[in-house]
Amino acid sequence: MALLSHLMFFCMMIVVVSSRGAIYTPPSVPHLTDRFNHVPINQGYSEFFGHSNIHLMSNGSIANLILDNSSGSGLVSRNKYNYGFFSAGIKLPSGFTSGVVIAFYLSNADLFPHNHDEIDIELLGHEKRREWVLQTNVYGNGSVHTGREEKLYLWFDPTQQFHQYSILWNTHHIVFLVDNVPVREFIHSAAISSVYPSKPMSVYATIWDASEWATHGGKYPVNYQYAPFVASFWEIEMEGCILQHPTADSAATSCSRRGFSSLDPVDGEEFAKLSQEQINGLEWATRKFMFYSYCKDTSRYKVLPPECHAN
């Protein structure tokens, strides 16, 4: 009976792990998020949309963004940045979240509606017993019809506690990081200079209904019986070159560095390329968790984008 009990317990543990996804320990990497100061949300952000669904707590250091059948919600940074390091600790809603998207991203569509840039971290909700999906995307100079998406599963349960989602953007590369582990590097080269994001951008945090496309191409829309969906944000970091008096004619160089850290993610040499530890982390994440890359989608792209040939 003792042996049978142990076997039953072991089988139950397998079911629990398989229904939530296996938990993996990533390689050791530098903790960039420990090297920049946090910006209180109520000081660094303004309301973008969904006023009644934005709840600030802990003296403005935490924001709960809510999606219900009345509206989603979002925040936008008070400043615009021309390159920098941007990060947020995010805790995702649990349960049946298909069609729900939580996004942490940079965009300048307000100033450049016809040729805007965008750098996206999007967290795509799931149907029952499926994992959240991390989608990254890069748009440059209005190329919004040419998505450069990559999709990965996460190596942890993102609904249990806060995890850090970060973007490093400078003239050398764009790096997406999760808990400081690089999950994607988009390198600036002459071949893609015309579509590399280069104009000043605002930083956004949003939750919204993406039923038309988010979960298996829109197969599973948002089910508001499970609402409200709450995404929590804290430990915001925004360190970069702040644009002064932004207009649509603003030159990319008309900005100043006003960060508190002595580290410079814009021009600092240590941010120009990945360290060997970061390369190891990137290879680990893409090998184990990536399941879609536009560079491998030959049915969508008869001629692959130029940067794909360097990968």
Q: Is 212 a catalytic residue?
A: no
- Catalytic hit among 47, 118, 212, 269: 118
Q: Is 118 a catalytic residue?
A: yes
Asked if residue 275 lies in contact with residue 128, where contact means CB atoms within 8 angstroms, the answer is no
CA distances from 149 to 16, 66, 137, 139 (A): 31, 26, 5, 10
Q: What are the tokens at 232?
A: 């929590």
Q: What are the tokens at 290?
A: 């990536």
| Strands annotated E in 126-272 | 133-139, 150-153, 163-169, 173-178, 181-187, 202-209, 229-243, 255-257
- Catalytic hit among 122, 185, 237, 239: 122
Sheet of strand 202-209: strand arrangement: 45-49, 73-77, 202-209, 100-107, 118-124, 133-139, 150-153, 290-293
Alpha-helix residue ranges (DSSP H) falling in the chain: 2-20, 41-44, 276-289
β-pair partners for 75:
47, 205
Q: Which residues are catalytic?
A: 118, 122
